């Protein structure tokens, strides 16, 4: 994997273009496909929520109700992610000079926090039902309706999960994760309901507890991942090594590399590079070397913005000091 990265940097050094760079038409087609995936997911969530409301009324199963409340929050969370995606497509360089890409992890954090809160509520309700020994509805007619609806919902969610996993967009990937989560919770909810009706009543609240714990664990991890992306965590050493290789091979007049730094600022990296050029070099030539390096760095799919600082020596103290 590391050798593949260096080969890509070598190709980029020679041609000046990233081998993975998409044309404008390809980028527009990809953006349309990503919007379609979001619209289809939202419409499906609305239809499936209505079906699961009926299943909850018929079964009165806590596990099915937990899955239905999850679908209700899917609609709310879907609106949050849609609003985030829409806002990012309408930049305002005066109010947001570096764009709105930070809205993406913020939207996902709000989404995940709501889902984790739901899990905690279901956990409390399941514990209450275990204490009060609430018995489920044992109607075989209702059982067939619930099985049919939950199997249909699970199948649709599985298809949507496969469809959304094809995209690299973080918001669409969040939808894919949500669809996968629904496949798990729907399956557990259906199994717990059927087993509770046919065997032991306590299987239903236990199934709901399993769903709640899975919800809290899954979305708590998602929150932490996106929080890390917002607080400026450094890029992995492999990526920094590839950046250094690209910088060093950019131009023969580069005498030293003082700094190569990459850190998260949303879903992509900000890159800072300090290079040393001959002190008697013409300003126009030095500017061209720095600007073409900046353009080359920003062609990398992982990089949102790159800043290139040009100097004539590297023994000075750092220009920027951290404020405490």
Which CATH number goes with the domain that contains 60?
1.20.1510.10
* DSSP SS3 for 307: strand
3-state DSSP assignment of residue 174: helix
Residue 72 sits in the same domain as residue 118: yes
Q: Does the model's pTM come out above 0.85?
A: no
Q: What is the mean pLDDT of residues 311-315?
A: 82
- pLDDT of residue 247 exceeding 60, the answer is yes
Same domain, 152 and 286: no
Cα 220–chain centre separation: 13
pLDDT value at residue 193: 75
> Strand locations in the chain, DSSP E?
256-264, 269-276, 303-311
Q: Is 317 helix (H, G, I), strand (E, B) or coil?
A: coil
Contact present, 146 and 193 (Cβ < 8 Å): yes
Residue 186 burial by Cβ neighbours in a 10 Å radius (0-12, 13-18, 19+): buried
Judged against a pLDDT cut of 90, whether residue 273 lies above it is answered with yes
The answer to whether position 170 is within a domain reads: yes
Distance CA 123, CA 136 (A): 18
Residue indicated by tokens 């590839």: 242
Domain contains 270: yes
Euclidean distance between CA atoms 314 and 64, whole angstroms: 65
Q: What is the pLDDT of residue 2?
A: 46
Q: Both 59 and 157 in a single domain?
A: yes
Give the HSE-up count for residue 293: Cα atoms under 13 Å, Cβ half-sphere. Answer: 30
**Could you read off the pLDDT of 46-88 as tens digits, one per residue?**
887 787 777 777 666 666 676 677 677 667 666 766 676 666 6
Residue range(s) defining the domain that contains residue 306? 237-311
Phi, psi values for residue 168, rounded to 5°: -95, -15
The total of other beta-carbon atoms located within 10 Å of residue 219's CB is: 25
Q: What's the confidence (pLDDT) of residue 195?
A: 79
CA distance 199 to 182: 25
Residue 262 lies in a domain: yes
- Kindly state whether residue 317 falls inside one of the protein's structural domains: no
Q: Are residues 78 and 180 in the same domain?
A: yes
pLDDT at res. 122: 76
Q: For residue 4, tell me if it sits in a domain.
A: no
β-bridge pairing 269-276 and 256-264: antiparallel
Residues 202 and 62 occupy one common structural domain: yes
Strand ordering across the sheet containing 269-276: 256-264, 269-276, 303-311
Q: Are residues 169 and 270 in the same domain?
A: no
Mean pLDDT (the chain, rounded): 76
Cα–Cα distance measured from residue 129 to residue 32, given in angstroms and rounded to the nearest whole number: 46
pLDDT band at residue 23, thresholds of 50, 70 and 90? low
Q: What is the CATH number of the domain that holds 244?
A: 3.30.70.1350
Q: Indicate the residue among 202, 230, 258 that finishes a domain.
A: 230
**Average pLDDT over every residue of 136-160:** 74
Instruction: Give me the mean pLDDT over the 289-313 stretch.
Output: 90
Q: Is the dihedral of CA 302, 308, 313, 319 positive or negative?
A: negative
- Residue 7, domain member (yes or no): no
Q: What is the pLDDT of residues 171-198, one digit of tens each?
A: 677 778 778 878 887 787 777 777 777 7
Largest separation between any pair of C-alpha atoms in the chain: 89
Domain check: are 211 and 141 in the same one? yes
- Mean pLDDT within 208-224: 78
Residues 93 and 209 grouped into a single domain: yes
Residue 323 in any domain: the answer is no
Residue 185 contacts residue 215 (beta carbons within 8 Å): yes
pLDDT in tens, 92-102: 666 666 666 66
Work out how many domains the chain is built from and give that number. Answer: 2
β-strand partners of 309: 274
275-296 pLDDT, tens digit per residue, is 999 989 999 999 999 999 999 9
Exposure string (b/e) for 110-146, b if CB count within 10 Å is 16 or more? bbbebbbebbeebbebbeebbeeeeebeeeeebbeeb
Say yes or no: 64 and 34 in one domain: yes
pLDDT at 1: 46
- Find all residues with CB under 8 Å of 217, minimum gap 6, and list them: none
Out of 230, 245, 267, a domain closes at: 230
Last residue of one domain, picked from the residues 197, 230, 263: 230
Residue 32 scores a pLDDT above 60: yes
The verdict on residue 178 lying in a domain is yes
Same domain, yes or no: 124 and 160: yes
């Amino acid at each position: 994997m590391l050798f593949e990265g260096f080969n890509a940097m070598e190709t980029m050094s020679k041609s000046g273009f990233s081998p993975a760079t998409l044309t404008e038409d390809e980028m527009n087609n990809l953006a349309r496909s990503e919007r379609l995936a979001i619209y289809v997911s939202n419409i499906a969530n609305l239809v499936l929520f209505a079906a699961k409301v009926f299943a909850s009324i018929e079964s009165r199963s806590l596990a099915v109700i937990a899955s239905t409340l999850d679908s209700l929050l899917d609609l709310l969370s879907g609106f949050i992610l849609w609003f985030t995606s829409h806002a990012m497509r309408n930049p305002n360089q005066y109010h947001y000079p570096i764009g709105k890409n930070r809205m993406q992890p913020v939207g996902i954090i709000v989404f995940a926090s709501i889902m984790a809160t739901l899990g905690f509520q279901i956990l409390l309700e399941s514990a209450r039902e275990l204490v009060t020994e609430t018995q489920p509805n044992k109607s075989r007619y209702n059982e067939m309706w619930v099985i049919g609806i939950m199997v249909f919902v699970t199948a649709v969610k599985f298809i949507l999960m496969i469809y959304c996993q094809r995209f690299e967009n973080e918001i669409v990937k969040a939808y894919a994760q949500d669809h996968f989560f629904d496949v798990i919770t729907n399956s557990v909810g259906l199994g717990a309901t059927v087993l509770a009706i046919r065997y032991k009543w306590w299987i239903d609240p236990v199934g709901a507890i399993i769903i709640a714990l899975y919800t809290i664990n899954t979305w708590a991890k998602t929150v932490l991942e996106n929080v890390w992306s917002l607080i400026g965590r450094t890029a992995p050493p492999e990526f920094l090594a590839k950046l250094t290789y690209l910088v060093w091979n950019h131009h023969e007049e580069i005498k030293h590399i003082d700094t190569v730094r990459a850190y998260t600022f949303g879903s992509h990296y900000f890159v800072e590079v300090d290079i040393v050029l001959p002190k008697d070099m013409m300003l126009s030539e030095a500017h061209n070397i720095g600007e073409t390096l900046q353009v080359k760095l920003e062609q990398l799919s992982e990089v949102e913005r790159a800043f290139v600082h040009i100097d004539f020596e590297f023994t000075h103290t750092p220009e920027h000091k951290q404020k405490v």
